[in-house]
Structure 1
Amino acid sequence: MKINETGRVGGVSSYQRNMDVPRQEEQKKNRRKDEVSISAEAMEMLQAQDKTTDTERAQKIQDLKSRVSAGTYHVDAEKLAEKLIPYFKQFPES
Structure 2
Amino acid sequence: MMKINDINRINGINKGYQQQVDYRKESKQASKKDEVQISQAAQEMLESSRAENTERAEHVKALKQAVQSGTYHVEAGKLAERLLPFFKQ
Give the TM-score of the pair, scaled to structure 1. Answer: 0.51
Give the structure-2-normalised TM-score: 0.53
Taking the aligned partners of 1:64 and 1:81, their CA distance within structure 2 comes to 20
Query: Which consecutive aligned stretches of 4+ in structure 1 deviate over 3 angstroms post-superposition?
Result: none
SS in 2 for 1:75: coil
* 1:84 and 2:77 matched: no
**Cα deviations by residue, 1:4-62 (Å, 9 ceiling, x for unpaired):** xxxxxxxxxxxxxxxxxxxxxxxxxxxxxxxxx88512321221221211111011011
- Number of aligned positions between the proteins: 54
Q: Could you tell me how far apart the structure 2 residues matched to 1:66 and 1:40 are?
A: 39
Residue of structure 2 in register with 1:45 after alignment: 44
Report what 2:60 is aligned to: 61
Q: CA deviation at 1:72?
A: 0.4
Q: What value does the CA root-mean-square deviation take over the aligned residues?
A: 1.8
Unmatched 5+ stretches in structure 1 = 1-36
For structure 2, the 5+ residue unaligned runs are 1-35
